């Protein structure tokens, strides 16, 4: 047994001696002139394990062509917000909740596209003489007509800039219809829309429009579960309107 240990010890010593001998044989002093020194290879760190990406919220889309880098300002009213609930369905769903959700998303998308966009309350103080490149108020139709589905867009009846505002309305209709697949309800545009109070408060040179996103009964799935689509459609409409305004900016 001891003999085995001694044998192993001797074997170990022999190995160490062999190691040091082979190490000294490769020292730079033994290199022939002209041979470059071996470059030291840095020990590379083991790459950090990448973390599993956190589930992110739905990314805010950017829409091309983006009207940036021209500075644009856009005001978005979340209908009834900070004033009243708006239409209320029998099960308690409030119009103001839908409007605020969609309006906030529209503002976020516009900001992601380099636009100075702000969220405004229904009777925000800033509305008096409000100046912007576009102004859109977001509302939703009640639960009162369960058979009705579709959206509406209108501008003030007595517009100071009818051509421009008609173009804003047209862009919103196109963008929203494409994104949501909802039908445009031309015939149910009401006095409340064309004589909307904020139209009389904002600067007459600010292109303004009001949209009714859909009906809270028939279009509920879109309005509550796919509000990102509704917001995307409005943002796309505004962006295409602004692109067309580039020459006038």
State the residues that interact with Zn ion by CB under 5 A.
79, 86, 139
> Least distance from C-beta 79 to Zn ion, angstroms?
4
133 vs 212, which CB is nearer to Zn ion?
212
CB 241 within 8 A of CB 62: no
> Least distance from C-beta 174 to Zn ion, angstroms?
23
Q: What angle do CA 5, 7, 9 make, to 5 degrees?
A: 70
Percent helix, strand and coil across the chain, each to the nearest 5: 45, 15, 45
CA of residue 212 relative to chain centroid, distance: 21
Tell me the pairing of strands 73-78 and 116-120.
parallel
231 vs 242, which CB is nearer to Zn ion?
231
> Least distance from C-beta 99 to Zn ion, angstroms?
7
> Least distance from C-beta 214 to Zn ion, angstroms?
12
**Number of CB atoms found within 10 A of residue 78's CB:** 25
Structure tokens at 180: 């949501």
d(CA 155, CA 163): 11
139 vs 236, which CB is nearer to Zn ion?
139
115 vs 120, which CB is nearer to Zn ion?
120
Bridge partners for 135 per DSSP: 75, 208
139 vs 220, which CB is nearer to Zn ion?
139
133 vs 141, which CB is nearer to Zn ion?
141
> Least distance from C-beta 50 to Zn ion, angstroms?
47
> Least distance from C-beta 149 to Zn ion, angstroms?
17
Burial zone of 33 (CB within 10 Å; 0-12 exposed, 13-18 middle, 19+ buried): exposed
Which residue of this chain has its Cβ atom nearest to Zn ion in the complex? 139
């Amino acid at each position: 047994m001891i003999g085995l240990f001694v044998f192993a010890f001797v074997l170990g010593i022999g190995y160490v001696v062999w190691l040091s001998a082979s190490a000294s044989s490769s020292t730079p002093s033994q290199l022939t002139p002209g041979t470059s020194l071996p470059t030291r290879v840095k020990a590379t760190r083991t790459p950090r394990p990448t973390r599993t990406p956190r589930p992110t919220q739905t990314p805010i889309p950017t829409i091309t062509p983006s009207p940036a880098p021209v500075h644009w300002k856009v005001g978005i009213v979340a209908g009834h917000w900070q004033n009243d609930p708006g239409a209320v369905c029998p099960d308690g769903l409030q119009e103001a909740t839908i409007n605020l959700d969609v309006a906030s998303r529209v503002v976020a998308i516009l900001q992601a596209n380099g636009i100075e966009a702000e969220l405004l309350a229904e009777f925000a103080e800033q509305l008096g003489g409000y100046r912007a490149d576009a102004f859109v108020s977001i509302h939703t139709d009640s639960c009162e007509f369960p058979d009705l589905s579709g959206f509406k867009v209108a501008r003030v009846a007595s517009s100071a800039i009818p051509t421009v505002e008609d173009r804003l309305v047209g862009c919103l209709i196109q963008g929203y219809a494409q994104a949501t697949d909802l039908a445009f309800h031309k015939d149910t545009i009401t006095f409340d829309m064309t004589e909307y109070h904020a139209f009389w408060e904002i600067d007459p040179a600010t292109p303004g429009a009001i949209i009714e996103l859909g009906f809270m009964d028939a279009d509920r799935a879109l309005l509550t579960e796919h509000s990102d689509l509704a917001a995307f459609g409005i943002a796309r409409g505004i962006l295409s309107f602004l692109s067309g305004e580039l020459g006038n900016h």
